[in-house]
């Protein structure tokens, strides 16, 4: 049913979403933890920066990424200095872009889960002589598990649904940057509506099932 090219796009999208989600859980957890506990006046500032991709058009993010990651941009000059070349048109570049783009979808559920725990369980753990690291992994992580699951699902699904940013920095290279959403766009542009329907229908079903799973989890609120 799916052509080899379409399958390659599906596999690439899955790979991109998996890598991005893994990185976001690692990077997003400390950010969310800090945001949940911080009294600093930078909290509002950082919180707003993290939430920016929620409201920015992907074209804005894509445009600035294309310039920043390009050979004349700050990041581009840094990656060239490291000998990595430039990031646009590479899988690594898509990971960087997707991580930025999906950041709030991971940080916000985590932050809310951490806030819901409150300081009390940690204080108890501290009186039992648990080190901060120990209590984070044995107390916070289990208590915030629903938040981690929500964060992972949303981060994954949002990356799968990404289009504009990838379009602007990807360069549409098969097996490297041609994800499903771009492939659908190409099919529609080339008037290959049958192929477009197969992939688009699949995306619709996938997104619906993800949200269904999210909303039906033990009747909990979808966000915590």
The answer to whether 178 touches 170, Cβ cutoff 8 Å, is yes
Return the number of the residue (31 or 66) whose C-beta is nearest other proteins. 66
Return the number of the residue (71 or 201) whose C-beta is nearest other proteins. 71
The answer to whether 159 touches 16, Cβ cutoff 8 Å, is yes
Return the number of the residue (27 or 86) whose C-beta is nearest other proteins. 86
Return the number of the residue (113 or 166) whose C-beta is nearest other proteins. 166
Smallest gap from Cβ 75 to other proteins, in A, equals 12
Return the number of the residue (47 or 171) whose C-beta is nearest other proteins. 171
Closest CA to 164 of 73, 89, 92, 60: 60
Smallest gap from Cβ 163 to other proteins, in A, equals 11
Smallest gap from Cβ 171 to other proteins, in A, equals 3
Q: Which residues bind other proteins (CB under 8 A)?
A: 66-67, 69-72, 85-86, 88-89, 167-169, 171-173, 185-186, 188-191
- CA 57/CA 9 separation, integer angstroms: 24
Return the number of the residue (108 or 183) whose C-beta is nearest other proteins. 183
Query: Dihedral of CA 10/16/22/28: which sign?
Result: negative
- CA 147/CA 114 separation, integer angstroms: 8
**Ranges of H-type helices in the chain:** 4-37, 42-55, 58-69, 74-81, 91-117, 120-127, 132-135, 141-143, 145-160, 164-170, 180-189, 193-216
Smallest gap from Cβ 114 to other proteins, in A, equals 39
Return the number of the residue (157 or 168) whose C-beta is nearest other proteins. 168
Smallest gap from Cβ 196 to other proteins, in A, equals 10
Give me Rg for the CA atoms of the chain: 20
Smallest gap from Cβ 63 to other proteins, in A, equals 8
DSSP state of 219: G
Smallest gap from Cβ 193 to other proteins, in A, equals 8
- CA 112/CA 114 separation, integer angstroms: 5
């Amino acid at each position: 049913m799916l052509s080899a090219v379409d399958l390659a796009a599906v596999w690439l999208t899955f790979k991109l979403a998996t890598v991005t989600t893994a990185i976001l859980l690692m990077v997003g957890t400390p950010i969310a933890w800090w945001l949940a506990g911080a009294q600093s006046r930078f909290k509002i500032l950082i919180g707003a920066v993290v939430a920016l991709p929620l409201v920015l058009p992907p074209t804005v993010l894509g445009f600035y990424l294309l310039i920043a990651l390009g050979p004349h941009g700050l990041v581009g000059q840094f990656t060239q200095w490291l000998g990595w070349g430039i990031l646009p048109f590479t899988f690594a570049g898509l990971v960087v872009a997707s991580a930025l783009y999906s950041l709030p979808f991971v940080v916000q559920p985590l932050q809310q889960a951490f806030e819901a725990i409150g300081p009390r369980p940690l204080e108890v753990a501290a009186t039992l002589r648990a080190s901060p690291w120990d209590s984070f992994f044995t107390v916070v992580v289990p208590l915030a598990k629903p938040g981690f699951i929500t964060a992972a699902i949303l981060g994954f699904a949002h990356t799968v649904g990404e289009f504009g940013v990838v379009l602007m920095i990807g360069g549409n290279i098969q097996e490297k940057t041609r994800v499903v959403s771009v492939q659908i766009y190409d099919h529609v542009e080339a008037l290959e509506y049958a192929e477009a329907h197969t992939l688009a229908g699949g995306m619709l079903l996938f997104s619906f099932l993800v949200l269904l799973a999210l909303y039906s989890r033990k009747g909990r609120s979808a966000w915590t």
